[in-house]
Amino acid sequence: MTSIGSERSELIPLLLAVQDEFGYVSEFAMQFIADQLKMPPTEVYGVATFFHFINKKPKGKFIIRLSRDMSSIMKGAKSVARQLRNDLGIRFGETTPDGMFTLEWTSCIGMNYQAPAMMVNNEVYSNLTPPMVHRIIEECRQEISIRRPTMGNVGETYASMLSYASHEPNAALTRAVREMAPADVIGELTVSGLKGRGGAGFPTGVKWNLAAKAESDLKYIICNADEGEPGTFKDRVILGKYADMVFEGMTLAGYAVGATEGILYLRYEYTHLRPHLEAVLETRRQARLLGENILDKDGFSFDIRIHMGAGAYVCGEETALIESLEGRRGEPRNRPPYPVEKGLHGRPTIVNNVETLATASCIVARGAKWFTGIGTERSKGFKLFSVSGDCARPGVYELPWGMTVQQLLELVDGVGAKAVQVGGYTGELVPASQFDRVMGYEDLGIGGSIIVYGQGRDMLEVAENYLEFFVEESCGQCTGCRIGNQKLLDGVRLLQKGTCSNRYLNDLIGLSHSIKSTSKCGLGQASPNVFIAINAHFQEEIMARPILAA
């Protein structure tokens, strides 16, 4: 077994290390870890059971996880699922009698534009078809003693050129260290108007300034790479192609606020990216872009480590992420205090997502004037969008703020759509009658996921898929979210059967607003959005369903 320290923050890495060695984390292992960390075993068990990718019982040598996000369902995930069941002779949630295969559904794995997709252990396969699935299974069976299955088709098909591609490596960090005081870096970002690209849209310069002013002998910079919003894959693309820019942005933040430690919190589904990211970090250390006296700047020391998530959508929320880093269940904290005041281990902490940090590097290198020359008066700069669903040209698009939904659909060849989901499952479902709405903070400035729904799509199937996800991913802290989302899911299923009365539907709409107003974090505050939207925009369609036979 791996060596064990004594800090609670080591708990989740230890659980994952034990799992890597033995295939799962037994109750004996939990007790042993609890003893070493001087924790009650019930707390270790509570953490282990919170995260989806920590196995509490033995599973197959090959764990197959098929993505069931809506983009995957639209592109044929159900036929792939049928092939998997037929080839393996088991249902989802089961393991073959010989212990070789476990078959599971999982949420979005960041491959929506090459859907359907699945993971075999930590390898990713995309653009799946039933014959391809059969070949993958046979390869696992035939070569099980030799090697793991070959890497699937994860080649990138960019739909637009990204500004990151023309960024001069480390130009921002070099300019900051040699020409700018820390306050000047913050000032450049403040003038640029850059807002957080993770969905919340908080001004980046303001956040960094608050952390800089906080008094502490230790501060942290966290890159939130827990890209779990279904339909979102832009951060995975950035990490795969432009990791240097992300680490440069983290180092800039460290210089600006006086932090010495950076942490990349990487979602478990992106485990396949870790070797690449570790290699980039080591190259930066060798080039004196990390470590002591960076770029020969006396006293400027900063380094970055990677921390793996263990599968919990709610950890995309910054305080839940911090709880996870500290070895606890990823449950959101009450705010205030905010992380910039009291974050990781009670110290001032900046949490920015992947795209925000890479964009900060661009801004400091080129200047705020360049960035403010793009976009609208209230929405400065450009934004990366993950586009998938019923369109001919899915992929990652860099677009200036200010485009309408209709203009975006023309760009991705999705004209004639029935509706568009903007901002992932927690975003807004926009019907065709509102395609003149603007992508920007003055209107639809949320997240970076665009899912296109064609005329033939059943909106109740969409709502069911969303609510199944929210029921599965709710941390359970808030009663309204824990129980209310299940009630909404039950209501959708009644509507599908044609047996939901108008009175009950109105009760569910009232419940939706209660869930939104009583939930602590963004999951519960946004999970009823889809139910409210289909009632507002597609009520005639959903109430006209024929009654299905029992």
What are the tens digits of pLDDT across the range 119-176? 999 999 999 999 999 999 999 988 654 344 444 444 455 568 899 999 999 999 999 9
Looking at residues 23-36, what average pLDDT do you find?
96
Looking at residues 52-70, what average pLDDT do you find?
96
What pLDDT is stored for residue 521 in this prediction?
87
- Binning pLDDT at 50, 70 and 90, where does residue 54 land? very high
pLDDT score of 466 more than 90 = yes
Q: How far apart are the first and last CA of the chain?
A: 53
User: What residues contact residue 274 under an 8 Å CB cut-off, 6+ apart?
Assistant: 266, 306, 308
Q: Which residue has the higher pLDDT, 379 or 159?
A: 379
Q: What angle do CA 511, 517, 522 make, to 5 degrees?
A: 110
Q: Percent of the chain scored above 70 by pLDDT?
A: 95
Gap between the Cα atoms of 55 and 21, Å rounded: 12
Q: What number of residues does the chain have?
A: 550
What pLDDT is stored for residue 550 in this prediction?
53
Q: Which residues pair with 66 in a beta bridge?
A: 105, 118
Q: Which residues pair with 399 in a beta bridge?
A: 383
SS3 502: helix
- Binning pLDDT at 50, 70 and 90, where does residue 410 land? very high
φ, ψ of residue 62 in degrees (nearest 5): -115, 115
Tokens of 441: 């903070």
Cis peptide bond prior to 97, omega within 30° of 0: no
User: What residues contact residue 34 under an 8 Å CB cut-off, 6+ apart?
Assistant: 40, 41, 43, 44
Q: What angle do CA 208, 214, 216 make, to 5 degrees?
A: 120
Gap between the Cα atoms of 242 and 248, Å rounded: 10
pLDDT score of 239 more than 50 = yes
pLDDT score of 3 more than 60 = no
What pLDDT is stored for residue 6 in this prediction?
60
Mean pLDDT of the chain: 92
Cis peptide bond prior to 394, omega within 30° of 0: no
**Sign of the alpha-carbon dihedral angle for 347, 365, 206, 222:** negative
The pTM assigned to this predicted structure is 0.93
What pLDDT is stored for residue 546 in this prediction?
76
Q: Using an 8 Å Cβ cutoff, are 162 and 355 in contact?
A: no
Q: Which residue bears the tokens 């090459």?
A: 114
- Binning pLDDT at 50, 70 and 90, where does residue 15 land? very high
pLDDT score of 11 more than 70 = yes
pLDDT score of 488 more than 90 = yes
Give the single-character DSSP code of 68.
-
- Binning pLDDT at 50, 70 and 90, where does residue 541 land? confident
Q: pLDDT digits over 229-238, tens only? A: 999 999 999 9
Looking at residues 102-127, what average pLDDT do you find?
94
What pLDDT is stored for residue 1 in this prediction?
42
Burial class (CB in 10 A: 0-12, 13-18, 19+), 285: middle
Q: Which of 453, 412, 446 is nearest to 432 (CA)?
A: 453
User: What residues contact residue 321 under an 8 Å CB cut-off, 6+ apart?
Assistant: 222, 224, 226, 265, 315, 330, 351
What pLDDT is stored for residue 471 in this prediction?
93
Sheet with 449-453, edge to edge strand ranges: 395-400, 382-389, 449-453, 419-422, 428-431
Q: Tell me the range of 284-288, 441-445, 538-542 where mean pLDDT is highest.
A: 284-288
Burial class (CB in 10 A: 0-12, 13-18, 19+), 142: exposed
Looking at residues 204-214, what average pLDDT do you find?
98
Tokens of 413: 């060849």
Q: Using an 8 Å Cβ cutoff, are 467 and 489 in contact?
A: yes
Tokens of 497: 């059967």
- Binning pLDDT at 50, 70 and 90, where does residue 2 land? very low
